[in-house]
Structure 1
Amino acid sequence: MRCGADALAARARDELSAAGLRPMQLRVDHASPLTSQEQAVAERAAEGWSDARIGEATGLEEREVARLLSDVYRKVGTDRAGLAKRLITPTVGLPRRPAPDPG
C-alpha cells in the first residue's frame, strides 16, 4: 500500500477472512486520475447509457467511447456493472455529483 498501512491492511484481510468474507481486491491507479473526457463517459455509463448513446451525446465514435471506458475500468479497478458503485467512492477520483438540497 502506498500510505504505509501494509500491516493494517493485512490485519483487515485476516479479520474479513476469519469472518467468512472474501475481501475485494482494489486496483486503483492513483497516479493516473481520470481525464475530464473519461469522467464524462464514466458518469453516463454508470447511469446505464449505451456506448452508442454516450457517443451521440459527446460527439465521439462508439469505438472511442468503448476505449475510454476500458481505460476507466482499468484505472478504477472495476467493470461496467461496478462503475456506479465506484462513482460513490471519493477515493478513486470520481467525485459524486452533489446531492440535491432536501430543504
Structure 2
Amino acid sequence: MKKVKLKIKFVNNVTKITFYNESNTLGNLLQYFMKFNGLIDVCGYYIPHPSENLLKFFYSTKYQVNNYLLNLWLFNTIYIFFFIILSIFELNINETERILIIMCDTL
C-alpha cells in the first residue's frame, strides 16, 4: 500500500500541491485531468529548479467550492489512471510500489 502524507491549507479558491520525487509527466497528467472539471478556473505546474526533485502543481476554482472534495476527485482520478497503466503493461503492483509524499499548501 502506498503511503501518502497530506497537509492541506486553502486560501480563497487557490490550492498549491507539492509533489516530491516526481517529474513533468505527473504535472502534465494532472493538468490534463483538471481541464475536464468545470469548477477549475486556472491550473498549472512548475519545477522550481532542475536540481530539485519537486513538482509544484496549483489550481484555482471559479467559485467557492469544497476543496477537500475537489482534491479527493483529483487523487481518485490519478489512482485510477495509474491502475489502468499498470494493468496495460501487466506490471506487478508490489514491484512498482513506492512511497509518494504529498505536501499541500497554499500559494
TM-score, normalised via structure 2 length: 0.26
Q: Which has the larger radius of gyration?
A: 1
TM-score, normalised via structure 1 length: 0.27
- The structure richer in helix per residue is 1
- The structure richer in strand per residue is 2
